[in-house]
Amino acid sequence: MIQSAYSGNNQNVIDLQDIKKIYGRGQAVMQALRGISLKIERGDFVAIMGPSGSGKSTCLNILGCLDAPTEGDYIFNGIRVNELDRNQRALLRRHYLGFVFQGYNLLNRTSALENVELPLIYRGIGVKERTRRARQALEKVGLLEWQTHTPGELSGGQQQRVAIARAIVTEPEVLLADEPTGNLDTTRSHEIMDLLVNLNRDLGITIVMVTHEPDTAAYAKRVIHFLDGLIASDKKNGELK
């Protein structure tokens, strides 16, 4: 198990230092990130915006330990992620991070409860305890009474709520959301964003969200704009107007 180096004095859960990411070689080389530095405090809610190809999704993948930087340092809770091997990065993802995707990524033939239990199975949690935790997570997203329904029996907004419950059932320090409202209509989008705001405020979960939509980014405390692999602006939401 990875031991966090967090001492209680360091408020930054995420610290990126001059991160670069290069794909390909020779004539096919592509520099997705050109040297970004970024600190995210514990309990923050950050929206990352930018056009396609700006580097925002690459940054999110690095934050989620789904990809590694070519150069630079990624420090999570005082842990130098660059120095971890593949198994240790998997442990970090499993114990400290939660993921929400645009496409929900639910198992179609299993119930909402079973979908939420899945990360706890990977942790080796016993049946009674993981069922208790999964029901608790579904209750937090307002879907406890739908626990026996399969994804096909749920609306898009309900499916995303199940996905969020699955992401928070492990009590992660950071929730990474990639276009969480991308497949939803306006009403359902606002419902999901209200839910994320509540989780950030009430549970203290740090949220980093990639979005193309200004209306969605408006729910965050801070908005970072990427452009051509660099951070073009980084402002609190009250400073944007």
pLDDT per residue as tens digits for the range 17-42: 999 999 988 777 889 999 999 999 99
pLDDT in tens, 204-221: 999 999 999 999 999 999
The 10s digit of each residue's pLDDT in 97-124 is: 999 988 888 999 999 999 999 999 988 8
Phi, psi values for residue 102, rounded to 5°: -60, -35
Per-residue buried b or exposed e for 66-78, using 16+ beta carbons within 10 Å of the residue's own CB: ebebeebebbbbe
pTM: 0.90
CA distances from 200 to 67, 178, 193 (A): 25, 16, 11
